[in-house]
Amino acid sequence: MIDAALKLFLISVFTIIFLQDFKERLVYWFLYPMTGILAYVIQASNIGIPVSLTNTVINLILIFILLAVCFLYTRIKMKMQFVNGSIGLGDILLFVFLCFTFSTVAFIVLLVFSLFFALLLHTIFKNKSSHTNVPLAGYISLFFASAYLLSMFFPPKYLFS
């Protein structure tokens, strides 16, 4: 019962991030740590603290490698500023706090599909928006909210272990 309530609250936070990022391209900073804390509590309650810590550390390492490669590509090849040039600070914060969500394999799969989801939504909505940048954190939040919503109907072993 508590697990379902936490998931619903996390889905609400993801939805708020989506709405703020989509409409204004600005998200309240405290929503990102809130997602990380809620997601970690859900993960730890399903599989235990030692395994969830291991998952989180591995996920953080993978995200830092991904961001480092993006940073080098942006600075060397594209010759532009990394933060607020090719990616927003909110997007980076979301990536970091998403590391607390799922086991490593599930996290990688969901992250890749969330990026494809973001690309698809941006392709659909780019002509209908006055903004030129992509609300990446919002689109990814919408995808992860959907993943948590679906996780309420399936055994937790598929996403957390």
Q: Give the model's confidence band at 129: pLDDT under 50 very low, under 70 low, under 90 confident, else very high.
A: confident
pLDDT beyond 90 at 67: yes
Q: What is the DSSP letter of 75?
A: I
Reduce the DSSP state of residue 100 to 3 states and report it.
coil
Biggest alpha carbon–alpha carbon distance for the chain: 51
Q: How do residues 76-114 score in pLDDT, each as one tens digit?
A: 999 999 998 889 999 999 999 999 999 999 999 999 999
pLDDT at 161 (0 to 100): 59
pLDDT at 158 (0 to 100): 64
The stretches of the chain forming alpha helices (DSSP H) are 2-24, 31-47, 49-72, 89-98, 104-125, 136-151, 157-160
Question: For residues 152 and 4, is the Cβ–Cβ distance under 8 A?
Answer: yes
Instruction: Please give the Cα distance from 119 to 23 (Å, whole number).
Output: 17
Q: Cα torsion at 10, 92, 96, 30 (round to 10°)? A: -50
Question: How many other C-beta atoms lie within 10 A of the C-beta of residue 23?
Answer: 12
Reduce the DSSP state of residue 87 to 3 states and report it.
strand
Indicate the residue type of 130.
Answer: S
Q: How do residues 1-48 score in pLDDT, each as one tens digit?
A: 788 899 999 999 999 999 999 999 899 999 999 999 999 999 999 899
pTM for the model: 0.93
Residue 30 structure tokens: 């405290």
